Amino acid sequence: MASDLSLSTRVIVINGLLFAAGTAVLALSPATVSSQPVLSESVVLLVGLAVMIVANSVLVRRALRPLERLRHQLTSAASAAPEERVAVPASGVTRPVSVAVNDLLERIDDAQRASAAAALAAQESERSRIAQELHDGVGQSLTAVLLELKLLSESAPSPSLDRVRDGVRASLDEVRSVARTLRPHVLEDLGLRSALAALTQDLFGSTRTHVRRGIMPGLPDLPADVELVVFRVAQEALTNVARHAEATTVELSLGMVGREIELRVTDDGHGLPRGAEGTGLRGMRERAALVGGRIDVARRDGGGTVAALRVPVAAP
Ligand SMILES: Nc1ncnc2c1ncn2[C@@H]1O[C@H](COP(=O)(O)OP(=O)(O)O)[C@@H](O)[C@H]1O
Ligand SMILES: [Mg+2]
Protein backbone atom coordinates (compact mmCIF):
# COMPACT_ATOMS: atom_id res chain seq x y z
CA MET A 1 0.00 0.00 0.00
CA ALA A 2 1.36 3.43 -0.90
CA SER A 3 2.79 4.90 2.31
CA ASP A 4 1.49 8.43 1.66
CA LEU A 5 -2.20 7.46 1.65
CA SER A 6 -4.13 9.29 4.36
CA LEU A 7 -4.83 7.30 7.49
CA SER A 8 -8.60 7.09 6.92
CA THR A 9 -8.04 5.92 3.30
CA ARG A 10 -5.70 3.19 4.54
CA VAL A 11 -8.24 1.91 7.07
CA ILE A 12 -11.04 2.05 4.45
CA VAL A 13 -8.85 0.17 1.95
CA ILE A 14 -7.94 -2.51 4.50
CA ASN A 15 -11.58 -3.02 5.49
CA GLY A 16 -12.71 -3.00 1.85
CA LEU A 17 -10.14 -5.67 0.92
CA LEU A 18 -11.21 -7.85 3.84
CA PHE A 19 -14.92 -7.49 2.97
CA ALA A 20 -14.10 -8.32 -0.67
CA ALA A 21 -12.10 -11.38 0.42
CA GLY A 22 -14.99 -12.58 2.65
CA THR A 23 -17.52 -12.04 -0.12
CA ALA A 24 -15.29 -13.84 -2.66
CA VAL A 25 -14.89 -16.83 -0.31
CA LEU A 26 -18.67 -17.02 0.17
CA ALA A 27 -19.33 -16.65 -3.57
CA LEU A 28 -16.64 -18.97 -4.91
CA SER A 29 -16.34 -21.70 -2.26
CA PRO A 30 -18.79 -24.59 -2.02
CA ALA A 31 -19.90 -23.30 1.41
CA THR A 32 -23.65 -22.56 1.73
CA VAL A 33 -25.79 -21.06 4.45
CA SER A 34 -29.34 -22.35 4.95
CA SER A 35 -32.08 -20.03 6.17
CA GLN A 36 -31.88 -22.01 9.48
CA PRO A 37 -28.05 -22.44 9.75
CA VAL A 38 -27.06 -25.89 10.94
CA LEU A 39 -24.20 -26.40 13.39
CA SER A 40 -21.51 -27.13 10.74
CA GLU A 41 -22.46 -23.95 8.81
CA SER A 42 -22.34 -21.85 12.02
CA VAL A 43 -18.87 -23.17 12.78
CA VAL A 44 -17.67 -22.21 9.27
CA LEU A 45 -19.27 -18.74 9.67
CA LEU A 46 -17.69 -18.21 13.09
CA VAL A 47 -14.22 -19.28 11.87
CA GLY A 48 -14.57 -16.96 8.86
CA LEU A 49 -15.62 -14.09 11.14
CA ALA A 50 -12.73 -14.74 13.53
CA VAL A 51 -10.23 -14.80 10.64
CA MET A 52 -11.59 -11.44 9.37
CA ILE A 53 -11.48 -9.84 12.84
CA VAL A 54 -7.91 -10.99 13.48
CA ALA A 55 -6.73 -9.95 9.98
CA ASN A 56 -8.48 -6.58 10.39
CA SER A 57 -6.90 -5.85 13.78
CA VAL A 58 -3.42 -6.86 12.60
CA LEU A 59 -3.62 -4.72 9.44
CA VAL A 60 -5.22 -1.67 11.10
CA ARG A 61 -2.75 -1.81 13.99
CA ARG A 62 0.12 -1.92 11.50
CA ALA A 63 -1.34 1.04 9.62
CA LEU A 64 -1.61 3.03 12.86
CA ARG A 65 1.87 2.09 14.15
CA PRO A 66 3.56 5.32 12.89
CA LEU A 67 0.94 7.32 14.81
CA GLU A 68 1.65 5.31 17.96
CA ARG A 69 5.39 5.91 17.50
CA LEU A 70 4.78 9.65 17.11
CA ARG A 71 2.67 9.68 20.27
CA HIS A 72 5.59 8.12 22.19
CA GLN A 73 8.01 10.69 20.75
CA LEU A 74 5.68 13.55 21.64
CA THR A 75 5.37 12.32 25.21
CA SER A 76 9.14 12.20 25.61
CA ALA A 77 9.64 15.50 23.71
CA ALA A 78 7.60 17.29 26.37
CA SER A 79 10.18 16.40 29.02
CA ALA A 80 13.29 16.38 26.80
CA ALA A 81 16.12 18.90 26.54
CA PRO A 82 15.25 22.15 24.73
CA GLU A 83 17.13 21.26 21.52
CA GLU A 84 15.57 17.83 21.21
CA ARG A 85 13.25 17.19 18.25
CA VAL A 86 11.05 14.29 17.17
CA ALA A 87 12.43 12.06 14.39
CA VAL A 88 10.97 12.86 10.98
CA PRO A 89 10.25 9.71 8.90
CA ALA A 90 11.21 9.82 5.21
CA SER A 91 7.57 9.32 4.18
CA GLY A 92 4.23 8.24 5.59
CA VAL A 93 1.23 9.76 7.28
CA THR A 94 3.16 11.05 10.29
CA ARG A 95 5.78 12.95 8.30
CA PRO A 96 3.83 16.24 8.01
CA VAL A 97 2.78 15.96 11.68
CA SER A 98 6.40 15.40 12.78
CA VAL A 99 7.56 18.39 10.73
CA ALA A 100 4.82 20.59 12.21
CA VAL A 101 5.65 19.42 15.74
CA ASN A 102 9.34 20.25 15.22
CA ASP A 103 8.44 23.72 13.91
CA LEU A 104 6.33 24.26 17.00
CA LEU A 105 9.12 23.07 19.34
CA GLU A 106 11.53 25.41 17.52
CA ARG A 107 9.18 28.35 18.01
CA ILE A 108 8.68 27.53 21.70
CA ASP A 109 12.47 27.36 22.20
CA ASP A 110 12.96 30.68 20.37
CA ALA A 111 10.31 32.34 22.52
CA GLN A 112 11.86 30.95 25.70
CA ARG A 113 15.34 32.08 24.67
CA ALA A 114 14.04 35.54 23.80
CA SER A 115 12.23 35.93 27.10
CA ALA A 116 15.26 34.69 29.09
CA ALA A 117 17.47 37.14 27.15
CA ALA A 118 15.05 40.00 27.81
CA ALA A 119 14.88 39.16 31.52
CA LEU A 120 18.66 39.04 31.81
CA ALA A 121 19.09 42.28 29.84
CA ALA A 122 16.55 43.99 32.10
CA GLN A 123 18.42 42.67 35.14
CA GLU A 124 21.76 43.94 33.80
CA SER A 125 20.36 47.40 33.08
CA GLU A 126 18.70 47.62 36.50
CA ARG A 127 21.94 46.58 38.20
CA SER A 128 23.78 49.13 36.16
CA ARG A 129 21.35 51.87 37.22
CA ILE A 130 21.66 50.97 40.90
CA ALA A 131 25.46 50.84 40.61
CA GLN A 132 25.46 54.29 39.03
CA GLU A 133 23.28 55.67 41.81
CA LEU A 134 25.45 54.12 44.51
CA HIS A 135 28.57 55.50 42.90
CA ASP A 136 27.26 58.98 42.13
CA GLY A 137 25.03 59.34 45.20
CA VAL A 138 26.24 57.63 48.38
CA GLY A 139 29.78 57.27 47.01
CA GLN A 140 30.16 60.98 46.26
CA SER A 141 28.65 62.05 49.59
CA LEU A 142 30.99 59.77 51.53
CA THR A 143 33.95 61.07 49.54
CA ALA A 144 32.93 64.65 50.40
CA VAL A 145 32.61 63.73 54.12
CA LEU A 146 36.00 62.04 53.98
CA LEU A 147 37.60 65.21 52.57
CA GLU A 148 35.97 67.35 55.26
CA LEU A 149 37.24 64.97 57.94
CA LYS A 150 40.72 65.10 56.46
CA LEU A 151 40.76 68.91 56.62
CA LEU A 152 39.36 68.82 60.15
CA SER A 153 41.93 66.35 61.43
CA GLU A 154 44.70 68.40 59.84
CA SER A 155 43.59 71.55 61.63
CA ALA A 156 42.70 69.79 64.91
CA PRO A 157 44.12 66.25 65.07
CA SER A 158 42.31 63.84 67.41
CA PRO A 159 42.20 60.02 67.74
CA SER A 160 38.38 59.93 67.70
CA LEU A 161 38.35 61.91 64.47
CA ASP A 162 40.73 59.32 62.98
CA ARG A 163 38.38 56.54 64.04
CA VAL A 164 35.44 58.30 62.37
CA ARG A 165 37.56 58.73 59.24
CA ASP A 166 38.45 55.03 59.19
CA GLY A 167 34.79 54.13 59.55
CA VAL A 168 33.76 56.40 56.67
CA ARG A 169 36.58 55.05 54.52
CA ALA A 170 35.47 51.46 55.21
CA SER A 171 31.89 52.37 54.25
CA LEU A 172 33.12 53.98 51.05
CA ASP A 173 35.08 50.82 50.20
CA GLU A 174 31.99 48.76 50.83
CA VAL A 175 29.82 50.96 48.61
CA ARG A 176 32.43 50.75 45.85
CA SER A 177 32.66 46.99 46.20
CA VAL A 178 28.86 46.61 45.99
CA ALA A 179 28.76 48.91 42.95
CA ARG A 180 31.52 46.86 41.36
CA THR A 181 29.58 43.65 41.96
CA LEU A 182 26.47 45.18 40.46
CA ARG A 183 28.21 46.51 37.42
CA PRO A 184 31.54 45.05 36.45
CA HIS A 185 33.14 48.37 35.46
CA VAL A 186 36.50 46.67 35.50
CA LEU A 187 35.25 44.34 32.84
CA GLU A 188 34.84 47.25 30.45
CA ASP A 189 37.90 49.15 31.65
CA LEU A 190 40.51 46.51 32.39
CA GLY A 191 39.12 43.32 30.90
CA LEU A 192 38.03 39.94 32.13
CA ARG A 193 41.30 38.97 33.81
CA SER A 194 41.26 41.97 36.18
CA ALA A 195 37.52 41.70 36.71
CA LEU A 196 37.93 38.08 37.86
CA ALA A 197 40.84 39.05 40.11
CA ALA A 198 38.75 41.84 41.68
CA LEU A 199 35.91 39.39 42.15
CA THR A 200 37.97 36.87 44.09
CA GLN A 201 39.46 39.66 46.19
CA ASP A 202 36.03 41.10 46.97
CA LEU A 203 34.60 37.72 47.94
CA PHE A 204 37.51 36.10 49.72
CA GLY A 205 39.68 39.07 50.73
CA SER A 206 38.46 38.92 54.31
CA THR A 207 38.02 35.16 54.68
CA ARG A 208 40.53 32.38 55.23
CA THR A 209 39.61 30.63 52.02
CA HIS A 210 42.71 30.19 49.92
CA VAL A 211 42.13 31.36 46.34
CA ARG A 212 44.06 30.05 43.35
CA ARG A 213 43.60 31.70 39.98
CA GLY A 214 44.85 30.15 36.77
CA ILE A 215 44.13 32.28 33.75
CA MET A 216 45.69 30.95 30.57
CA PRO A 217 47.86 33.52 28.79
CA GLY A 218 47.05 34.45 25.19
CA LEU A 219 43.32 33.85 25.39
CA PRO A 220 41.45 35.05 22.30
CA ASP A 221 39.54 38.31 22.54
CA LEU A 222 36.06 37.37 23.63
CA PRO A 223 32.88 39.11 22.48
CA ALA A 224 31.48 41.46 25.15
CA ASP A 225 28.42 39.30 25.77
CA VAL A 226 30.57 36.18 26.31
CA GLU A 227 32.83 38.11 28.72
CA LEU A 228 29.80 39.24 30.68
CA VAL A 229 28.47 35.67 30.85
CA VAL A 230 31.85 34.33 32.02
CA PHE A 231 32.01 37.09 34.63
CA ARG A 232 28.46 36.57 35.92
CA VAL A 233 28.86 32.79 36.06
CA ALA A 234 32.17 33.15 37.93
CA GLN A 235 30.48 35.61 40.27
CA GLU A 236 27.59 33.24 41.06
CA ALA A 237 29.83 30.17 41.38
CA LEU A 238 32.26 31.99 43.70
CA THR A 239 29.41 33.48 45.72
CA ASN A 240 28.01 29.96 46.13
CA VAL A 241 31.41 28.78 47.37
CA ALA A 242 31.53 31.66 49.85
CA ARG A 243 27.95 31.08 51.01
CA HIS A 244 27.50 27.32 50.98
CA ALA A 245 30.71 25.35 50.57
CA GLU A 246 32.76 26.03 53.74
CA ALA A 247 35.79 25.39 51.58
CA THR A 248 39.41 25.94 52.51
CA THR A 249 40.56 26.32 48.92
CA VAL A 250 38.81 27.60 45.82
CA GLU A 251 40.34 27.44 42.40
CA LEU A 252 39.27 29.53 39.43
CA SER A 253 40.63 28.71 36.01
CA LEU A 254 39.97 30.13 32.58
CA GLY A 255 41.38 28.61 29.43
CA MET A 256 40.69 27.21 25.99
CA VAL A 257 39.67 23.61 25.46
CA GLY A 258 39.59 23.04 21.72
CA ARG A 259 37.45 25.82 20.34
CA GLU A 260 35.68 26.50 23.59
CA ILE A 261 36.51 28.83 26.40
CA GLU A 262 36.27 27.04 29.71
CA LEU A 263 35.74 28.57 33.12
CA ARG A 264 36.08 26.23 36.09
CA VAL A 265 35.38 27.07 39.71
CA THR A 266 36.41 24.21 41.96
CA ASP A 267 36.15 24.08 45.73
CA ASP A 268 37.02 21.50 48.38
CA GLY A 269 33.95 22.16 50.52
CA HIS A 270 31.23 19.73 51.50
CA GLY A 271 29.84 19.36 48.00
CA LEU A 272 26.65 20.14 46.14
CA PRO A 273 23.63 18.47 47.80
CA ARG A 274 21.71 16.01 45.61
CA GLY A 275 19.11 17.75 43.44
CA ALA A 276 20.27 21.24 44.49
CA GLU A 277 18.51 23.88 42.40
CA GLY A 278 17.96 27.57 42.91
CA THR A 279 17.77 30.88 41.08
CA GLY A 280 21.57 31.03 41.01
CA LEU A 281 22.10 27.70 39.24
CA ARG A 282 19.18 28.36 36.91
CA GLY A 283 20.51 31.84 36.09
CA MET A 284 23.92 30.40 35.23
CA ARG A 285 22.32 27.90 32.87
CA GLU A 286 20.20 30.55 31.18
CA ARG A 287 23.16 32.89 30.73
CA ALA A 288 25.29 30.09 29.31
CA ALA A 289 22.55 29.13 26.84
CA LEU A 290 22.28 32.75 25.65
CA VAL A 291 25.78 32.59 24.17
CA GLY A 292 25.46 29.01 22.95
CA GLY A 293 27.34 27.55 25.92
CA ARG A 294 26.52 25.15 28.70
CA ILE A 295 27.23 24.81 32.38
CA ASP A 296 27.73 21.76 34.48
CA VAL A 297 27.72 22.00 38.28
CA ALA A 298 28.43 18.76 40.09
CA ARG A 299 29.91 17.12 43.14
CA ARG A 300 33.58 16.46 42.70
CA ASP A 301 35.19 13.09 43.24
CA GLY A 302 36.98 13.37 46.56
CA GLY A 303 34.72 16.13 47.95
CA GLY A 304 33.74 19.64 46.98
CA THR A 305 31.98 21.06 43.97
CA VAL A 306 33.02 21.96 40.47
CA ALA A 307 31.19 24.40 38.23
CA ALA A 308 32.35 24.28 34.62
CA LEU A 309 31.19 26.66 31.91
CA ARG A 310 32.01 26.03 28.26
CA VAL A 311 31.27 28.51 25.48
CA PRO A 312 32.29 28.01 21.86
CA VAL A 313 34.37 30.93 20.53
CA ALA A 314 36.10 31.76 17.28
CA ALA A 315 39.71 30.60 17.09
CA PRO A 316 42.34 33.28 18.00
N1 LIG B 1 29.86 25.32 45.86
C2 LIG B 1 28.82 24.78 46.53
N3 LIG B 1 29.05 23.97 47.60
C4 LIG B 1 28.01 23.43 48.28
N5 LIG B 1 26.70 23.63 47.98
C6 LIG B 1 26.41 24.42 46.96
C7 LIG B 1 27.44 25.04 46.17
N8 LIG B 1 26.84 25.75 45.18
C9 LIG B 1 25.52 25.61 45.35
N10 LIG B 1 25.24 24.81 46.41
C11 LIG B 1 23.90 24.37 46.87
O12 LIG B 1 23.00 24.52 45.79
C13 LIG B 1 21.89 25.30 46.19
C14 LIG B 1 21.40 26.12 45.02
O15 LIG B 1 22.32 27.12 44.66
P16 LIG B 1 21.81 28.45 43.95
O17 LIG B 1 20.93 28.05 42.81
O18 LIG B 1 22.98 29.29 43.63
O19 LIG B 1 20.87 29.13 45.03
P20 LIG B 1 21.27 30.00 46.32
O21 LIG B 1 22.74 30.26 46.26
O22 LIG B 1 20.46 31.24 46.20
O23 LIG B 1 20.88 29.14 47.50
C24 LIG B 1 22.40 26.11 47.35
O25 LIG B 1 21.36 26.46 48.21
C26 LIG B 1 23.38 25.18 48.02
O27 LIG B 1 22.70 24.30 48.88
MG1 LIG C 1 23.69 31.05 44.64
- List the pLDDT tens digit at each of the 316 positions of the chain: 455 677 788 889 999 999 998 888 888 888 777 777 788 888 888 998 999 999 999 999 998 888 888 888 888 877 777 677 888 888 887 888 889 989 998 999 889 888 888 888 898 889 889 988 888 899 999 999 999 999 999 999 999 999 999 999 999 999 988 887 887 777 888 889 989 998 898 889 878 899 999 999 989 999 988 999 999 999 999 999 999 999 999 999 999 999 999 999 999 999 999 988 899 999 999 899 889 899 999 999 889 999 999 999 975 5
Q: Which ligand is nearest to the CA of 285?
A: 1
Task: Determine the pLDDT at residue 3.
Answer: 56
Given this model, what pLDDT does residue 68 score? Answer: 86
Which residues, including other chains, have CB under 8 Å from residue 111's CB and lie 6 or more apart?
none
Radius of gyration, CA atoms only, the chain = 35
Under 8 Å between Cβ of 294 and 282: no
Give which of 263, 267, 271 is closest to 251, Cα–Cα. 267
State whether the beta carbon of 214 lies less than 6 angstroms from ligand 1. no
Distances (CA, A) of 74 to 69, 87, 94: 9, 10, 12
Atom of ligand 1 nearest to the CA of 297: 8
Strands 210-215 vs 294-299: parallel, antiparallel or unpaired: unpaired
Cβ burial, residue 137 (10 Å; 0-12/13-18/19+): exposed
Which ligand does the CA of 283 lie closest to? 1
Query: How many Cα atoms are found within 13 Å in the side-chain-facing hemisphere of 164?
Result: 14
Ligand 1: does its nearest atom lie under 6 Å from the Cβ of 267? yes
Q: 235 CB less than 6 Å from ligand 1?
A: no
Q: Which of 204, 235, 244 maximizes ligand 1 atoms within 8 Å of its Cβ, making it the mutation to test the pocket?
A: 244
Centre of ligand 2 to C-alpha 272, Å, is 11
239 Cα nearest atom in ligand 1: 21
Are 196 and 174 contacting, i.e. CB atoms less than 8 angstroms apart? no
Superfamily of domain 186-316: Histidine kinase-like ATPase, C-terminal domain (3.30.565.10)
* Paired sense of beta strands 294-299 and 305-312, if any: antiparallel
Residues facing 297 on adjacent strands: 307
Q: Which residues of 189-224 are buried (b: 16+ CB within 10 A; e: fewer)?
A: eeebeebbbbbbebbbeeeebebeeeeeeebeebee
Ligand number nearest CA of 282 is 1
Name residues with Cβ closer than 5 Å to ligand 2, which is an ion: 240, 280
Q: Given this model, what pLDDT does residue 25 score?
A: 86
Decide: 265 and 238 in contact? Cβ < 8 Å. Answer: yes
CB 275 within 8 A of CB 297: no
Report the distance separating Cα 159 and Cα 225, nearest Å: 49
Rounded to 5°, the CA angle 108-114-119 comes to 125
Q: Is 279 near ligand 1, meaning CB less than 6 Å away? A: yes
